[in-house]
Amino acid sequence: MSTRGSKVERNSVSDQPHEIKYEAHKEGTSQQVIKNAKKSAGNQRSAIEKKVK
């Protein structure tokens, strides 16, 4: 069974521009806000979403 990506990758936000852009669009905020939240909260998607809200 071949899968692309892993569940670990789905739970984190990398520094790649398309992931920052996606998360910003999803949260309805700017990319800079996501970058700042990522610096303080780490890479976990749930922690970044809590920090932005």
Domain-wise residue ranges, the chain: 13-52
Cβ atoms within 10 Å, residue 52: 18
Q: Which residue blocks in 1-53 are alpha helix, DSSP H?
A: 7-10, 17-27, 31-41, 45-52
Q: Is this structure's pTM higher than 0.75?
A: yes
Check residue 11 and give its pLDDT.
87
pLDDT tens sequence across 29-40: 999 999 999 999
